[in-house]
Amino acid sequence: MTLHSSHWGAFEAVETAAGLEVRPDPTDPNPADALLRNVPAMLDERVRVLVPHVRRGFLERGAGPDERRGHDDFVPVGWEQALSLAARELDRVRTAFGNASIFGGSYGWGSAGRFHHAQSQVHRFLNVLGGYTRSVETYSLGAARPLLRRIVGNDDPIMRSTSLSVLAEHTELFVCFGGIPAKNAQVNAGGVTRHATVGHLRRARERGARFVLVSPLRDDLVADLDAEWITPVPGTDTALMFGLAHTLVRNGLHDGDFLRTHCAGFDEWWSYLDGRTDGVVRDAAWASRICAVPEERIVALAREMAAHRTMITLSWSLQRARYGEQPLWTGVALACVLGQIGLPGGGVGHGYGAMAGIGGPRAEGPLPTLPQGFNTVTDFIPVARIADMLLHPGDGFDFDGARLRYPDIRLVYWAGGNPFHHHQDLARLRRAFARPETVIVHEQFWTATARHADIVFPASTTLERDDLGCARESDALIAMPRVTEPRGEARSDFAIFRALAEELGVGKEFDEGRDEWEWLEHLYESWRAALAEGGDPGLDFAGFWAKGRIDLPRVSRDRVLYADFRADPVAHPLPTPSGRIEIASATIASFGYDDCPGHPTWLEPEFLAEPPGTGPFPLFLVANNPATRLHSQLDHGAGSADAKVAGREPVRMHPADAAARGLAAGDVVLVESRVGSVLAGLVPSDDVAPGVVQLSTGAWFDPSAPDVATCVHGNPNAVTTDIGTSRLAQGCTGQLSRVEVRKAPAPLPSVRAFVPPVRIPGDDALRAKPE
């Protein structure tokens, strides 16, 4: 068995005559067994890109905008031809239009390895070519980070939140807006060696802590926590928090001293809450009318929060909707009103359960990561605005107080990640991908992103190369020796970029004279040299590789967010203009954004324009992260495939809603919105609130039967809206949509998501059969 690592944690693997055998790390108290079941599918040659390919239209007609991207078939070519074509296009575009016309796309989830980190590799390569237009922020936290930088000065409520070990010992009441989903806590960028989130929550429950879940999905908290389940109308958490805050202040249950000494702008916000600003009193009765939670329950919960050591947890999902800044800002303000910030077990945290590392150990020193170099191009976009950029070059847009313009992108270079998973309104994204002159992609599999490329380089998987595995949220550095040889003619991203750099005359600048093994040793030894005194593990690279795993030094385990700030806000101010938590922000107010004013504000999102249960799209769709895979990775793997219904992604809805539509378990249904439509397999479940349907992201996008549905496989981003959270952050809004569900008409089209766009010997077994 060979120890290896992944975003789902460490595992042992060996290639046998029967295939790849994978076993979870025996030292992990709660290993991600279900996700690790997908790992053997990395080696499934039926869906692998095995040799370089060029889109037929590009090969025959050359570069240029082309609406056949995503429809065309591909021609296998040799490495020499593919590298020559890619080098020629890179050189043509940067010479004729400048480096700002190259977009370097990546999303960082390609591998847990730090050297073969596709995002670092592609950015390093493009930087030695002179730079590229980049993206900033993430789909996961697009609204959160720009907002938190303004109201608390940094993202400490995410990355340095109070440790779960502290909550397990001290918290008496957990009020979980959006829950703490156990499925997401099995995943972390770079991997963790110990999955401990659920264990800490169970210890808190055993000690007597109470849990209140505020979510449309009952299983956003594990069942044995015995949580009270409150189901507001989706998208109305901000209004509910307003009702709680107003109740606390009106009844004298707030901490006035904390608000005066540690916060800025409370009086301004209170004028808004109590109606002195506009005549609207935003109390529990007002909140009840909006969120459909009884007024008496709101009042009782506020009193309970004041009477106990309370942790307010805010899931990342809350801010992935229109005006997503508001529930996060309001949650922080509500915690300020309670005045428990900085106390063990009290306060606020953003994202417990969103990833395995949130609230866990944190390595505070350096990590052995690949230097990306310096980007001389200043153009950038918020990551969720890629379709806007490609469709509307030269148009202006607002972001975090600045007025910017979309660059004119002629070439897209993508390595690591699948925008046809993360992005919204996939029909619109297809139109956007038709606009560039050239699209180059590194891929292991025939994903929708590969199918929308002109040149596709076959990339090796993590099992097929040596690497170093670590994460700041873990407590170990893991050697990741290759388990097997690369399939087909696949090469590592480094090898591909190295060959391209040689073609373009910048080989030495890219590789610095090192091969892959020498880079691994260099990164490890450079990391050792940068450690603080006493942190050196005492092993050279050869010793580390032989041992396989070493502890990361300087790991903080028991943290209390803002403990020093609470003790002395003058000696330990926050990095905000006031040095305090900014319940009202003069900086944000100065931007003049009507979609993100200067204090927490109730802004009714477009999907609430029609009352719940009315109109052509009466249901709320929750498009959350899947339990059976990471994003869209390895959707063809055993764990993901076993969860499919009639070969399509499962969609859950309340049994009463299903019965009202004449639907039964196992039916293939059509989920429609104003944007598009998707086929999925029905699973009735009373873990879903009435009026809500839930369809996880990550099914490989399949637009092969557009006369039937935008996607016939179950990708919810076929029906989500591509609009930013606000002009402040321009974050992703794919979490919530309005839809209707009905039985799909016969005959049903086959699912062709796993059928390569070129004939590959042996692929017939994966070809979907007519239903």
List active site positions.
Answer: 107, 109
CA–CA dist 199, 209 (Å, integer): 14
What stretches of 43-176 show up as alpha helix (H) in DSSP? 56-61, 79-97, 118-128, 144-151, 156-159, 164-170
CA–CA dist 376, 361 (Å, integer): 35
- Beta strands 438-443 and 467-469: pairing type? unpaired
Residue pair 415/118 in contact (Cβ under 8 Å)? The answer is yes
- The candidate with the shortest Cα–Cα distance to 493, out of 76, 88, 121, is 121
Tokens of 6: 């992944």
The residue whose two tokens read 């070059």 is 393
DSSP helix/strand/coil, 683: strand
Residue pair 629/642 in contact (Cβ under 8 Å)? The answer is no
- Per DSSP, 767 falls in state S
CA–CA dist 438, 183 (Å, integer): 38
Q: Which helix (H) or strand (E) holds 692?
A: strand 692-695
Tokens of 277: 């600003």
Q: 85 vs 62, 67, 99, 491, 495, CA distance in Å?
A: 10, 20, 18, 17, 17
Widest Cα–Cα separation across the chain: 75
**What DSSP letter does each residue of 254-285 carry, written as one string?**
S-HHHHHHHEESHHHHHHHHTTTTTS---SHH
- The candidate with the shortest Cα–Cα distance to 717, out of 631, 656, 633, is 631
Q: 194 vs 32, 185, 421, CA distance in Å?
A: 10, 11, 28
- The candidate with the shortest Cα–Cα distance to 647, out of 684, 693, 685, 679, is 679
Amino acid occupying residue 102: I
Q: Using CB atoms within 10 A of its CB, is residue 198 exposed (0-12), middle (13-18) or buried (19+)?
A: buried
Q: Estimate to the nearest angstrom the gap between the alpha carbon of 216 and the chain centroid.
A: 20
Q: Is 393 left (phi over 0), alpha (psi -120 to 50) or beta?
A: beta
